[in-house]
Amino acid sequence: MAHPLFQGCGTALITPFKNGRIDFPAFGRLIDFQLANGISALVVCGTTGEPATMTDGEWESAVAFAVKRAQGRVPVIAGTGGNNTQIVIEKARRARALGADAQLCVTPFYNKTTQTGLIAHYRAIVRDGALPVIVYNVPARTGLNMQPATLAALADEENIIAVKEASGSIAQVMEMMRLCGEKVAFYSGADELTAPVMAMGGRGVISVLSNIAPRQMAELAAAPVREAAKRNIALLPLMNAMMSEVNPIPVKAAAAMMGLCRNELRLPLIPMSREGKARMKQEMQKAGIL
């Protein structure tokens, strides 16, 4: 791996909705807010962006809008992952045509597969060659944990450039790093583990919190180890509140409090509980965000 796609904090963007449709004015303001506060990459239609309840047309519109708004200032990464390999390949081709720089590709869910099947899945995607791949391992969502040896088996594929690791296990991250060396870049997939992952040699974080705290997360990801740890610990109560209900329920509530968008989600997701919002507001105030 010559150079990572980005270094620092990339934001897993929410998708603002208004009256059942994508709220593009709010989406534009959100992207501008990210870029003005030092964010290094934008992830569109990842889990936080609610792609599971978006039509193909909405997905394409969101990716195209983000590419145009970013104007090449930072990489735009399109969420393409799914549990049908051929559809992932087709989405990657569309994302490339729309101008995306890379794809975030979550491990298959529900029908899942074996570890050998994971290798076959990702090889089919990368060998199609549409876009560089950031592998996304988030077993709490998918019910499937990519083992370190599996990532190592894929690390020689030229088009696999990074992994967003959200298993929650620093020991697993370290073993992946040991086996893969410098062949892929590592990004924390959990805000609360940003400093630990970077201390082990990670390149940054793909963050949910940075939707509402881009400057704080960008500074955390750029800080030396001891300072990053202090910042991470200081933000931990807010990070925990951000994951107290199913993502992106809390971050949408927080963004609405800041006037960034409406607190509108699509079923089966529902707005945050009254108690959850009260806790979120309190932690945002303590962090100086509200």
Q: Does the CA dihedral 1-162-216-166 come out positive or negative?
A: negative
Residue 213, pLDDT score: 98
113 class by beta-carbon count within 10 Å (0-12 exposed, 13-18 middle, 19+ buried) = middle
Average pLDDT over residues 22-38: 98
Average pLDDT over residues 190-202: 97
Average pLDDT over residues 46-53: 97
CATH class entry, domain 8-223: alpha beta
Chain-wide mean pLDDT for the chain?
97
Nearest to 157 by CA among 189, 120, 106: 120
Average pLDDT over residues 276-285: 97
Position 39 pLDDT exceeds 70: yes
Q: Is the peptide bond before 268 cis (omega within 30 degrees of 0)?
A: yes
Residue 70, pLDDT score: 98
Position 209 pLDDT exceeds 60: yes
Position 171 pLDDT exceeds 70: yes
- Which residues touch 157 (CB under 8 Å, ≥6 apart)? 122, 123, 126, 127
Average pLDDT over residues 85-113: 98
Separation of alpha carbons 99 and 75, rounded Å: 10
Residue 111, pLDDT score: 96
> In 10 A of CB 224, how many CB atoms?
9
Average pLDDT over residues 142-171: 97
**pLDDT band per the 50, 70, 90 thresholds, residue 148:** very high
Q: What share of the chain is helix, strand, coil (3-state, %, to 5)?
A: 50, 15, 35
Contact 38, 238 (CB under 8 A): no
Residue 248, pLDDT score: 98
Position 162 pLDDT exceeds 60: yes
Instruction: Report pLDDT digits (tens) over 221-233.
Output: 999 999 999 999 9
Angle at 177 between CA 200 and CA 126, to 5 degrees: 130
Task: Say what angle helices 249-257 and 225-242 make with each other, to 10 degrees.
Answer: 100
136 carries an active-site annotation: yes
Separation of alpha carbons 92 and 131, rounded Å: 6
Average pLDDT over residues 12-16: 98
**pLDDT band per the 50, 70, 90 thresholds, residue 130:** confident
Residue 129, pLDDT score: 85
DSSP string, 60-116: HHHHHHHHHHHTTSS-EEEE---S-HHHHHHHHHHHHHHT-SEEEEEPP-TT---HH
Average pLDDT over residues 172-186: 97
Nearest to 179 by CA among 195, 155, 206: 155
**pLDDT band per the 50, 70, 90 thresholds, residue 215:** very high
Separation of alpha carbons 101 and 18, rounded Å: 28
Position 172 pLDDT exceeds 70: yes
226 class by beta-carbon count within 10 Å (0-12 exposed, 13-18 middle, 19+ buried) = exposed
Residue 165, pLDDT score: 98
**pLDDT band per the 50, 70, 90 thresholds, residue 1:** low
8 strand-pairing partners: 204
Separation of alpha carbons 178 and 48, rounded Å: 30
Torsion angle in degrees (nearest 10) through CA of 152, 158, 159, 162: 40
Catalytic residue, from 91, 110, 122, 136: name it. Answer: 136
164 carries an active-site annotation: yes
Nearest to 251 by CA among 43, 14, 10: 14
Catalytic residue, from 91, 164, 252, 277: name it. Answer: 164
Q: What is the CA radius of gyration of the chain?
A: 18
